[in-house]
Amino acid sequence: MSAPAPCVCEKTELVGASDRAPDTCAVIVAGGAGDRFGDPRGKQFVELCGLPLMCWSLVAHDRAPSVARLVVVCAPERAAEVERDVLSRVVLKKPTTLAAAGATRQESVLAGLRAMPRDLALVAVHDAARPLVETEMIERVISTVRADPALAGAILAARSIDTLKLVEKDTIIATPDRTFYWAAQTPQVFRTQALLFAHRQAVREEYRGTDDASLVERCGGRVRVVECSRDNIKVTVPGDLAIAEAALEQRLVDAGCGRPEEGAL
């Protein structure tokens, strides 16, 4: 048994809930095998500050006032494990359902879209391997889409701070202006019908995109960037876990969280 987890303090009052009814479904994608991470459990299930890594993304979205429902996309053979070892470890207030992941991330997102209620106007797609996402970030990107009817979506992203090189084989052929480059993150929030259309179009044309925004962009949808912290990292290799743990522990200390008895949060 691992050490007790620091508590996840209730801080929803800092987000600023409005009188608007929740209109967003959070699709948490947790179907990847995590081969680069090198842990047979899969990175979604490794312990981070006393809880399975994907718990932190679930809690952040559950506490977002705009989110009405959660859909967790996981490998069908691991659904029972998600129920037993993940969902049982946290107290979620929003209705939560599971969807069967596909062979690729793109197929998994489409499965999540098909599992969500059709009456929710917006969908927030988030990688379970980004445990440092904050509820305030989620609300910012949702409100950006909601506020501008001309937008098909908006994504969290961080400005590039490194000098970038365009390389062919092992030779530099250009040094682009880095002010034009941003590192895409999640959640990526879209109008539900716009994202569904983009995914169906991609299936018809056998197109594989690098993220959901790329699918919407190629269908003519306008997608805005919402700047956020570079701390919202994706845990991909073992070294990333140590970085995430240090950042999360400091965040919990800053929030004044204690260390409760073992059990569900």
**216-255 pLDDT tens trace:** 999 999 999 999 988 899 998 888 999 999 999 988 888 7
State how far the Cα of 224 lies from the Cα of 164, in Å rounded to an integer. Answer: 22
State how far the Cα of 62 lies from the Cα of 231, in Å rounded to an integer. Answer: 20
Tell me the two tokens of residue 51.
Answer: 């809880």
Q: 43-52, 63-72, 151-160: which range is least confident on average? A: 43-52
CATH 2.40.30.170 fits 21-254, yes or no: no
pTM over cut 0.85:
yes
200 has pLDDT over 70 = yes
Q: Look at residue 15 in the predicted model and tell me its pLDDT.
A: 47
Show me where the domains of the chain are located: 21-254
41 has pLDDT over 80 = no
Tell the residue number behind the tokens 């599992």, with chain if given.
115
**Rounded (to 5) percent helix, strand, coil in the chain:** 35, 20, 45
194 has pLDDT over 60 = yes
Mean pLDDT of 58-62: 97
What's the angle, vertex CA 36, arms to CA 87 and CA 200, rounded to 5?
65
Q: Look at residue 206 in the predicted model and tell me its pLDDT.
A: 96
Q: Do the bridges between strand 122-127 and strand 96-100 make them parallel or antiparallel, or are there none, so unpaired?
A: unpaired
Band the pLDDT of 13: cuts 50, 70, 90. Answer: very low
Which of 254 and 260 is assigned the larger pLDDT?
254
Within 8 A by CB and 6+ apart from 56, the residues are: 8, 48, 49, 131, 132, 133, 248
Band the pLDDT of 18: cuts 50, 70, 90. Answer: low
Decide: 265 and 4 in contact? Cβ < 8 Å.
no
Q: Look at residue 8 in the predicted model and tell me its pLDDT.
A: 53
Q: Look at residue 69 in the predicted model and tell me its pLDDT.
A: 98
